[in-house]
Amino acid sequence: MGFALPKIPPVPVSPKVVLSLTAAVVALAAVAGTAAHHASAKPAYTRGLPSGALTVDAYDCGANWTSAKAGKQNLLIANTGIETTEVYLVDPGSGAIYGEIVGLAAGTTDQMPVVLGDGTYALRCWPADADPVTGPPVRVTGGAPGSTAGTVTPGVLPVSRQDLTGPVKQYQAYVEDGLTKLKPLVGKLQDDIAAGNLDAARADWVPAHQQYERLGGAYDAFGDVGDAIDGLPSGLPGGVNDSGFRGLHRLEYGLWHGQSAAQLAGPAGDLVSSVDKLATDFPTAQIDPLALGLRTHEILEDTVRFELSGQSDQGSGTTLATVDANIDGTQSLLGILRPLLTPRDPDLPRIDATLNRLRGLVEAQRHTDGSWTPPAQLTTPQREALNSAAGGAVELLAPVATICEPRLDKS
């Protein structure tokens, strides 16, 4: 015989309770989903990565790095995430950087060469479009076998864009002042040519060219107008006869290759117009803070490439005067960056000494009448000494760009 279950009246539930329970279930599901996603197997492409590598992703940065040895080594870093990331080896207390890998793509590995001394280290990851993540600290003790204190990788305090705001403004003012000084010099050069006084033009060409080179802007800092002021004929289809060969070097070629005042009047007028345009446009130009460190190194790097090699000489034989101006430009930028470099670059005194030595060697070739020894007339010992000093300066200046690269923000 069957029977019926008694009907149980429903228990009333407050709408607020229903919403709270629903929210809790959704939240738990989201947490579970995130945990499951993060705990699940890594993407397929990571399965072939070296098992002994220090792994990084958007959540963990070297979480499997639990111990470290002192001395010279290559830290193998594997990106097991799905985003490209920058990886730094830092002092987690001060933030000083000992090594970096820029743009480590997902599913790839790279090595970070370092020489570790006593101290505390951690990996810091900065994924694209995400906040930085710092891994667990690792303590190194026992010194650095096989290395001296001078060879241990130094920690460099990072620089921010805010740190570079003042130097950028100083550089802008430096260039604006330099352009103000350049305008009358190229104007006098134009007047010499208009009057047919080519001897005066040859004498006035050198200080005009030196003043432009002191700006440190002959290396793409001024864009197309820079080529119009100081471009070289190399790469132009017509060489020195190409219509695109303009500016100071165009006048140099004509003045030292027997061209007439009538032939040089047009190029002189174009030069004055280009300098006027640059002087007008530059105050509103946006200077990338990264350019300051790069330019400090590139000025002398290009000096070795173009001036000391003779590539830039268009007949005047005055490239050592240009080198002297390039040293001025380098030292001016070093002066602007010195407050940032002093606590960060232990080689700064050596840089100063090397630049002073290079200047002494260069100015030894300036004669009492204001003329300069053409590089082709240097003795072998003189040339070797110049090349050695310039090469040493370039080598010491190379880290300046890296030290002054903004790293504390991604604005």
- Whether residue 12 is contained in a domain is answered as no
Q: Please check whether residues 202 and 98 belong to one and the same domain.
A: no
Distances (CA, A) of 30 to 22, 23, 26, 27, 130: 12, 10, 6, 5, 20
Q: Please check whether residues 137 and 99 belong to one and the same domain.
A: yes
Mean pLDDT of 139-160: 74
- Based on the structure, what is the number of domains in the chain? 2
pLDDT at 52: 82
The more confidently predicted of residues 399 and 9 is 399
- Whether residue 32 is contained in a domain is answered as no
Q: Which of 34-43, 206-215, 310-319 has the lowest mean pLDDT?
A: 34-43
Domain extent for 59: 48-151
Q: Please check whether residues 378 and 240 belong to one and the same domain.
A: yes
- Whether residue 363 is contained in a domain is answered as yes
Per this entry, what is the length of the chain? Answer: 411
Q: What is the rounded distance in angstroms from the CA atom of residue 195 to the CA atom of residue 184?
A: 16
Q: Please check whether residues 250 and 307 belong to one and the same domain.
A: yes
Q: Where are the alpha helices (DSSP H) in 215-260?
A: 224-230, 248-255
pLDDT in tens, 40-53: 445 555 566 787 89
Say if residues 99 and 88 touch (Cβ distance below 8 Å): yes
pLDDT at 131: 87
Say if residues 115 and 79 touch (Cβ distance below 8 Å): no
Say if residues 51 and 83 touch (Cβ distance below 8 Å): no
Tokens of 221: 């800092």
pLDDT score of 1 more than 90: no
Q: Please check whether residues 242 and 356 belong to one and the same domain.
A: yes
Residue found under tokens 């007949």 = 315
* CATH number of the structural domain spanning residue 95: 2.60.40.420
Q: Please check whether residues 135 and 254 belong to one and the same domain.
A: no
- Whether residue 228 is contained in a domain is answered as yes
pLDDT in tens, 295-307: 999 999 999 999 9
pLDDT in tens, 331-358: 999 999 999 999 999 999 999 999 999 9
3, HSE (Cβ side, Cα atoms, 13 Å): 2
- Point out the domain boundary residue: 101, 130, 151: 151
* CATH number of the structural domain spanning residue 350: 1.20.1420.20
- Point out the domain boundary residue: 131, 151, 171: 151
- Point out the domain boundary residue: 115, 133, 151: 151
If you ran DSSP here, which 8-state letter would residue 218 be given? T
- Whether residue 116 is contained in a domain is answered as yes
Q: Quick one: 137 exposed, middle or buried, by C-beta within 10 A (0-12, 13-18, 19+)? A: middle
Q: Please check whether residues 118 and 230 belong to one and the same domain.
A: no
Tokens of 135: 């891994």
- Whether residue 320 is contained in a domain is answered as yes
Say if residues 336 and 170 touch (Cβ distance below 8 Å): yes
pLDDT in tens, 193-221: 999 999 999 999 999 999 999 998 545 66
Q: Please check whether residues 235 and 302 belong to one and the same domain.
A: yes
- Whether residue 109 is contained in a domain is answered as yes
The helix (H) or strand (E) run that includes residue 125 is strand 119-127
Does the predicted model carry a pTM greater than 0.85?
Answer: no
Q: Please check whether residues 203 and 56 belong to one and the same domain.
A: no
- Whether residue 33 is contained in a domain is answered as no
Q: Pick from 292, 351, 294, 299: which is nearest to 325 by CA?
A: 299
